[in-house]
């Protein structure tokens, strides 16, 4: 496995642990629809939460959350809509980002709740 794949896998594991410790129930991980992926689908307080995890081993280029571009946000919304329809879920939802900086020890995890609003993208 390449170094960036290992870093991404570590970040997703850290993000899941962080969310569980903060009372989120993990429903799905790496859920795919038409080549689009949702890293984590979680539930908390009767809210369906779609989580994009971004992990970096260095800050040389950008903060992890800055990598969640408008295109990536649109893809997440597209996949989330498919998820809601496929699972027949009738709950409010939001989109979060968990940014992980893996070069530090301990690792730095930032949870950005309600990171973007789908209606602002289209």
SS3 state of residue 25: strand
Task: Residue 116: name the closest of 99, 100, 95 by CA.
Answer: 95
Q: Is the dihedral of CA 52, 55, 61, 62 positive or negative?
A: positive
DSSP letter for 107, please: P
Query: What pLDDT, on a 0 to 100 scale, did the predictor assign at position 9?
Result: 87
pLDDT value of position 2: 60
Residues of the chain with pLDDT under 50: none
Predicted local distance difference test score (pLDDT) of residue 56: 86
Tell me: the pLDDT tens digits for 34-49? 999 999 999 999 999 9
Task: Find the DSSP H helices in the chain.
Answer: 3-21, 70-87
Report all structural domains of the chain as residue ranges with CATH numbers, in order of start.
3-120 (3.40.1350.10)
């Amino acid at each position: 496995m390449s170094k960036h794949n290992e870093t991404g896998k570590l970040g997703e594991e850290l993000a899941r642990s962080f969310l569980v410790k903060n009372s989120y129930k993990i429903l799905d991980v790496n859920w795919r629809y038409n080549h689009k992926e949702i890293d984590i689908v979680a539930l908390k307080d009767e809210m369906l939460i779609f989580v994009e995890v971004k992990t970096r081993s260095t800050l040389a280029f950008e903060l992890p959350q800055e990598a969640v571009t408008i295109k990536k946000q649109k893809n997440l919304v597209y996949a989330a809509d498919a998820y809601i329809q496929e699972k027949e879920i009738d709950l409010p939802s939001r989109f979060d980002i968990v940014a992980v900086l893996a070069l530090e020890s301990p690792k730095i995890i930032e949870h950005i709740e309600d990171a973007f609003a789908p209606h602002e993208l289209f």
